[in-house]
Structure 1
Amino acid sequence: MNIPEYLTSGILESYVLGAVSDEERREVECLSSIYPEIRQELDRLSAALEDYALSYSALPPIGLKEQIMAKLDFGTEAPPVETETPVVALPADSGPTYKITWIAAASLGLLVLIFSFFLLSQLRQAQRISATLRDSNETLQTEIQRQRDIRQRSEDLLAMLRQPEVRIIRLKGNDKAPTGEMMVYWHPHSRQVMVEIMNMPPLPANQQYQLWSLVNGQPVDAGVFDVTDAPQKMGRVIAQADAFAVTIEKRGGSPAPTLSSLVMMTPVTS
């Protein structure tokens, strides 16, 4: 169970205020007996409610009782009659009616407290919705940027393929990468090189594939690349190439190829 999410759901505040159904009440009581964190939060909310009610309770103003009794005085003692029959006067004290003011003040304070808890619950819900929308927006923006990068790289490759004399070399993996396959696009005049991954095993974060051109048997660094969905433009230019090869190197590349990690090599046909 996600305890922090349950504590911020607003159900405990509603329970303290008595604004829950019988099913919700049983749920809160059951969970509070199982999880100490819920029991502590429930006790804290109950204490806060009691402190709030006591803080906003007030004694009636001085003299309020006399003012009320004065308004309830319906007159003086009746005049005596000739028959000398005793006259019964109204009692001077009709009861503790001043308590009405205290009850009204306490009720008003309770209403304010209920409304405050309601606003707090709405604020927490709004914060959760805002966080969800923010995460969704960030994910969407990341995906939009990724799609833009893919489109731009595809447009760069299409522009290269439209140029005359572009060489297209298909590289296939050896026994160390039997399913490996990729395309190398090389334009000898502009010396630009792009690669497109067809099927390459992913590497650990501390490793990268490195492309080499072989000129008279000597390797020339053509740059490093990762396994991605989009064509990649290599960071180095290649003037000559008798063949292209790929090795697995540490991230950032190596000044010389590691022959033991050679995964593919294909000659450039004339």
Structure 2
Amino acid sequence: MDTREYIESGILELYVFGRLSDEEMRDVNQMAEEHAEVRDEIVSIEKAVISLSYSFAPYLSAENYDRIRRQLIEKHGGVVPIRAKTNTAAWIGWAAAILLMFGLAYQYYEYNEVTKEVQAVTKERGKFEQMVAALETKNSENEKALAVIRDKFSTVVPLEGQAAAPEAYAKVYVNPNKKEIYVDIAGLPEAPAGKVYQVWALKLDPLTPTSIGVLDTTAKTNGILQVDNFDQAEAFGITLEPEGGSATPTLEQLYALGKV
């Protein structure tokens, strides 16, 4: 067998992939030492395989490449009979297909990891945006409360605790210039389930109560709350009423009372 027939037999491709027996490997090494054409062909095949590996799987590490190579060697027990006239392009295409498979698997893994990271970041950003929105709302409420308290036209009416709740207290801010009334119920205990606080504007002679606002439990956490305006109020009272409020105040549940 001359040098050209030896090269075209396909044994050099098997040599590069490590699929020859020890004796066959020694034979190829001897041929490579004796014939520069054989050495050049081996180098050409190795370069082609490496080039394909990086073309189809650019992230394939040396460790993974070696592992793939070992799998190719071990697939058929390490020895494959030499087949004459094996097509070099067919061997290279077969190797490229396997490398492509590993490359695509790796890139699919990377895609999944990136997708998970994007989802996690999106979730955290959503939480952050909710937190910012809540802080902005709270700041807006605080600024509004401070504006009511600091307004030079606001008159403060303190409401003292009554028999139903001696420790309770509240404040009413009356601004005749803006025709607005605000009530601060921070000093009242939390309303029981099914109950609400109701604010009354009172005329004293004769005693005439007018409802100016029903406050639910959640409203209590907002601090200072605006209620309906009432120009003729001579006193204010707060009672505990059934949910939805009452047409007239339940005097036994009078929590706070104060004169203007």
Q: TM-score range by the shorter chain?
A: 0.5 to 0.7
Native 8 Å contact 2:160 2:258 kept in 1 = yes
Q: Which residue of the partner structure matches residue 7 of structure 1?
A: none
Cα shift readout 1:48-98 (whole Å, capped 9, x = no counterpart):
xxxxxxxxxxxxxxxxxxxx979627xxxxxxxxxxxxxxxxx98167964
Alpha-carbon distance between aligned partners in 2 of 1:183 and 1:113, rounded to the nearest angstrom:
69
What TM-score do you get using the length of structure 1 for normalisation? 0.56
Tell me if the contact between 2:8 and 2:87 (Cα under 8 Å) persists in the aligned partners. no
- Which residue, out of 180, 185, 194, partners 2:168? 180
Structure ranking higher on relative contact order (CA contacts 8 Å, 6+ apart): 2
Q: Distance in 2 between matches of 1:69 and 1:173?
A: 111
In structure 1, the partner of 2:224 is 231
Which of the residues 248, 257, 262 maps onto 2:249? 257
Higher helix share: 2
- Give the whole-Å Cα distance in 2 for the aligned partners of 1:207 and 1:221: 16
Deviations 1:140-180 (A, max 9, x none): 11211221122023213422xx12xx543211223433332
CA deviations 1:24-58 (Å, max 9, x no partner) are: xxxxxxxxxxxxxxxxxxxxxxxxxxxxxxxxxxx
Quote the offset at 1:114 in angstroms.
1.2
Match of 1:211 in 2: 199
Shift of 1:187: 4.6
- Give the Å deviation of 1:134: 1.4
Change over 3 Å in CA distance of 1:188–1:149 after alignment to 2:
closer
Q: Determine the structure 1 residue equivalent to 2:84.
A: 93
Query: What does residue range 85-234 of structure 1 map to in structure 2 within 5 Å?
Result: 93=84, 98-159=90-151, 162-163=152-153, 167-187=155-175, 192-204=180-192, 206-215=194-203, 216-225=206-215, 226-234=219-227
Q: TM-score normalized by structure 2?
A: 0.58
Give structure 2 stretches of 5+ with no counterpart. 10-81
Q: Give the fraction of aligned pairs with identical amino acids, expressed as a percent.
A: 23
Partner of 2:8: 72
Report the number of matched residues: 179
Shift of 1:203: 2.5
RMSD: 3.1
Where does 1:51-66 land on structure 2 (aligned, <5 Å)?
none
